[in-house]
Structure 1
Amino acid sequence: MSRSFAIILCVILGCRAHAQQPKFVIEGRAQGTTYCLQYYADSVLVSKDQVDSVLAVIDRSMSLYLSNSLISRFNSPDRKMLVLDPHMERVVRRAKEVHKASDGLFDITVKPLVELWGFGAKRISKMPDQAAVDSVLQFVGMQKLRLRKNKLYKNDKRTAIDLNGIAQGYTVDVLAELLDKLGSSNYLVEVGGEIRTRGLKEQRKPFEIAIERPAGLGSSRFVLQLSDRSVTTSGNYRKTFDYLGKKIHHHIHPQDGYPLQNNVASVTVVASTAMDADAYDNVFMALSPEEAITFADQMKEIEVYIIYKQDNEFKEAFSKGFSRYIKN
């Protein structure tokens, strides 16, 4: 469930040991990307094999690249109902809530559109025309899905879901919950640039995450200081091309079926959970900078930093509370 873009540049790791507890680091590869857990404890709490086992369970649930995963089975045109495991149920339920809160901008049924535009598993030889887009839109939309307890139904057998816009953040949360359960109260979990923190790092300081900025925006980056918060970044200014005067990139508008055409280059979202940050960075990408800031300022536990292009220059916008996380 790897994401094709991430702007979060690096986690700034401390070198000196925590006064009370040593630091443990577990690193590896999963979901087409890398992961890193760093935590503080009196002794080893979790092994790499345990972490990899958790990640494998999530892949068997929601990976589009495994033909026998739950999501692949649900997406089969031969199936209209599937009993979900607890992981996929939690993610789909939260996706429906974000869909409602965003007036439909977050929509997990975009998979056929993603494939139509060549951002799925198969490449395309030509761009789709309006007729092709319209034909696919007939079976796209969250109204095509029904979730009843742990059973997911689709009204149209052609409807298929893609959880990549939320599942990697969820993966981060699951690993964080594992560390909580094992007794660590100071940690940072990162999967593919999506991060969740709890407590403090060395010298009783917040964890520090460097955010990349496009050339021309002052310094090349700034640093966030986070404790008990998650952060994700989504953007398109590196992976886009023009076709018939339109930008083509992997963020597809679920309502008109076309890649987003606004001037937003990237968004960085700070939230209480990585799943929420992951989901809402997609929402903010679909809004104008002004709409995104207004929306974020109306929400609890959500802050956003936006890079957008205006008059051939990159500019920035911040929600009201974002600045409190920036290191002075």
Structure 2
Amino acid sequence: MQVYGISGVAQGTTYSIKYYSERELIKQQSIDSIFNVIDQSMSLYKAHSAINTFNKPTVLSMELDAHMLRVVEASFHYNKLTQGYFDITLYPLLQLWGFGPQGFGKLPLDHQIDSVKKLIGIDKIHLNGKVLTKQQSHVSIDLNGIAQGYTVDVVADYLTRSGLQSFLVEVGGEIYAKGLKSDNSAYKIEIQRPPGDQALNYKVMLKDMAITTSGSYEKYRTVNGQHYSHHMDPFKGDPVLNNVLSVTVIARTAMEADALDNYLMYLNPQEALSFVEKLPQVEAYIIYSENNTLKELQSSGFNNYIYNIQS
């Protein structure tokens, strides 16, 4: 059994795949083709992508391709699960605050926020079969909060259908691990920590599970000394301001972990853990600031995944 690797650039980030096999089974061209198809569906940076077509004011409804359909269906589910905080209609708000492809201009005024808030809310779109419809011409969607995790799952599914029993897929830090390595050990993943955090990094052992991390330090704007995160409050219309620095989620799929790590950034650490404890096969690890000190909390089962080098 040999280890094979593939790496490249896609979706504005890097990706890597490691798999164990008797022979080379996966070609980079096949992986890049998967990324290209998904980007043509859901990338806001591809001018002629399906999502950009839907976001045009002149388009009020559109039949979705298979990839976009699955992600939009999941988005409705996670919107309900998170009491409306996970919301794909936030795109106009993200643009207003400078987190869209157009970049940052200046801080929005209150009347601009109030105007854009009228376009926000999952009730502004409706899915009937494969057809997605919007209520108003300027309603637009952003699937970035879940599409990258979905991409990891699609690649993992392709590798499984190709006959692989042991592999690791990573796209922009979002990871899915299947099976065991050739020495029968689990894949070990180092958890991302906020910049400047001097604590030792945890490593977790993964088998047939996904792990993702979301942090307030990933995408932000600093204006007049104020730190503005890309995590938007759909109800208030402005960036979330709290003491949570990063959330790491372990779940059955990368799409599930991706959606949940975003939502947990909205909650205070105790609320976040209470939410996670009610979900099957989901664990979370949270780093937050309190009295200028970094602290951490983890869900009850998270410790089962931590790799102890002395064990």
CA contact (8 A) 1:194 1:231 kept: yes
Contact kept? 2:190, 2:204, Cα under 8 Å: yes
CA distance in 2, matches of 1:217, 1:124: 28
Query: Could you tell me which residue of structure 2 aligns to residue 170 of structure 1?
Result: 150
Read off the aligned partner of 2:211 and give its amino acid letter: V
Aligned to 1:213: 193
Percent of paired sites with the same residue: 45
CA contact (8 A) 1:146 1:154 kept: yes
Change (3 A) 1:241 1:91: closer
Kept in 2, the 8 Å contact 1:40–1:186? The answer is yes
Structure 1 Cα separation of the partners of residues 60 and 284 of structure 2: 37
Residues 89 and 215 (structure 1), Cα distance of their counterparts in 2 relative to 1, 3 Å cut:
closer
Gaps of 5+ in 1: 1-20
Counterpart-to-counterpart distance in 2, 1:267 and 1:116: 25
Query: Which structure has more RCO (C-alpha within 8 Å, separation ≥ 6)?
Result: 1
Q: Aligned partners of 1:292, 1:246: CA distance in 2, in Å?
A: 25
Structure 1 residue 219: deviation in Å?
3.2
Give the equivalent residue in structure 2 for 1:52. Answer: 32
* Counterpart for residue 264 of structure 1: 244
**Which residue identity is paired with 1:60?**
Q
Structure 1 residue 236, shift from structure 2 partner: 1.2
Report the counterpart of residue 101 of structure 2 in structure 1: 121
Mapped partners of 2:195, 2:162: distance in 1: 42
Taking structure 2 as the reference length, what is the TM-score of the superposition?
0.95
**Distance (Å, rounded) in 1 between the aligned partners of 2:120 and 2:39:** 24
- Secondary structure, counterpart of 2:202 in structure 1: strand
Aligned residue type for 1:149? G
- 2:268 aligns with 288
User: How far has the Cα of 1:262 moved from its partner?
Assistant: 1.3
Match status 1:70 vs 2:37: no
Instruction: From 49, 54, 62, give the equivalent of 1:82.
Output: 62
What is the number of residues matched between the two proteins? Answer: 308
Query: Which residue of 2 is the match for residue 15 of structure 1?
Result: none
CA contact (8 A) 1:247 1:260 kept: no
Return the alpha-carbon distance in structure 2 between the equivalents of residues 46 and 180 of structure 1.
11
Are the structure 2 counterparts of residues 123 and 54 from structure 1 closer, same or farther at C-alpha, using a change threshold of 3 Å? Answer: closer
Partner of 2:305: 325
- Distance change in 2, residues 1:80/1:214 (3 Å): closer
Instruction: Give the CA RMSD over aligned residues.
Output: 1.6
Q: Per-residue CA shift, 1:299-323, capped at 9, x if unaligned?
A: 1121110011110111101011111
* Distance in structure 1 (CA, Å) of the matches to 2:207 and 2:110: 47
Of 114, 117, 125 in structure 2, the residue corresponding to residue 137 of structure 1 is 117
Distance 1:143 1:245, change over 3 A: farther
